[in-house]
């Protein structure tokens, strides 16, 4: 299978977690786009979706799926989203698509986070993928220095994500730092620590909002991992 075929496989496999009559929480990214395309085939069986980005909202609406505001729902049975990395406990690094803040918000509404990913996302230790952190622009410099000063780890480097020659601006009007050189041995503690740094909007470690299930696309087909 190509990576694109693996994404299609897991996007379709995620349909089995969509219960008729239930509003679905929908993440962001190329793998989620495959899920949205699959969801469109059963759109008459669900009242709608809560979206984690402008990009996903546009795709859902284009396919005739009703998009509800997060404040219109109390709970979601399921949240379907991709990841940049997922470890053996279902902890993830997310934010490659710059949607990490709303992804974590919608994930927090859901009883079960179902991660859909191709096998390239499976890691033992989080951090090889540059960690996305959404920041208030005026705090970017001091947050970058805090990462670079993290004890015991040399070669950590944080940089503002650029787009078309200027800092990328998120759906929430903030900037993204991508932090290279980290080895995140304790994702829960790391997420709690960074979350409290002034100016951090969201850190792209999803440990407190970890996956309950991962549908992993592999050369041997879809593996269902539970955590
Ligand atoms: O930005 C995100 O968190 C996305 O979910 C990302 O982690 C996965 O995107 P992909 O499916 O395009 O690799």
Q: Per-residue confidence at 170, pLDDT binned at 50, 70, 90? A: very high
Instruction: Tell how far the Cα of 6 is from the centroid of ligand 1, in angstroms.
Output: 14
Atom of ligand 1 nearest to the CA of 93: 7
Average pLDDT over residues 53-62: 98
Pocket mutation for ligand 1, best pick of 7, 14, 31, 103 (most atoms within 8 Å of C-beta): 31
- pTM given for the model: 0.96
Token pair of 210, please?
A: 């970890």
Q: Determine if residue 49 is left, alpha or beta; phi over 0 gives left, psi from -120 to 50 gives alpha, anything else beta.
A: beta
Alpha carbon distances (Å) from 12 to 126, 150, 204, 207, 226: 26, 41, 25, 25, 18
Pocket of ligand 1 (CB under 6 A): 27-31, 81-84, 94-97, 99-100, 103
Those residues whose C-beta lies under 8 Å from the C-beta of residue 128, and which sit 6 or more positions away, are 85
Give the per-residue pLDDT at 210.
Answer: 98
Query: Is this complex's ipTM strictly greater than 0.95?
Result: yes
């Amino acid at each position: 299978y190509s990576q694109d075929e693996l994404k299609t496989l897991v996007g379709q496999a995620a349909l089995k977690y969509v219960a008729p009559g239930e509003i679905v929480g929908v993440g962001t990214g190329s793998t989620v786009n495959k899920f949205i395309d699959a969801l469109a085939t059963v759109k008459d069986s669900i009242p709608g979706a809560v979206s984690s980005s402008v990009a996903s909202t546009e795709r859902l609406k284009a396919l005739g799926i009703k998009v509800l505001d997060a404040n219109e729902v109390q709970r979601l049975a399921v949240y379907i989203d991709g990841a940049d990395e997922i470890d053996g406990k279902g902890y993830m690094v997310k934010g490659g698509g710059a949607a990490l803040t709303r992804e974590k918000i919608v994930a927090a509404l859901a009883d079960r986070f179902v991660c859909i990913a191709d096998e390239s996302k499976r890691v033992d230790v989080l951090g090889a993928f540059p960690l996305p952190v959404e920041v208030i622009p005026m705090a970017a410099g001091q947050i970058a220095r805090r990462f670079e000063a993290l004890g015991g780890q040399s070669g950590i480097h944080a940089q503002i994500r650029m787009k078309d020659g200027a800092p990328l601006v998120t759906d929430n009007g903030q900037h993204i730092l991508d932090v290279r050189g980290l080895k995140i041995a304790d994702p829960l503690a790391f997420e709690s620590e960074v979350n409290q740094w002034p100016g951090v909007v969201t850190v792209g470690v999803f440990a407190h909002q970890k996956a309950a299930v991962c549908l992993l696309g592999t050369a041997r087909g879809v593996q269902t991992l539970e955590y």
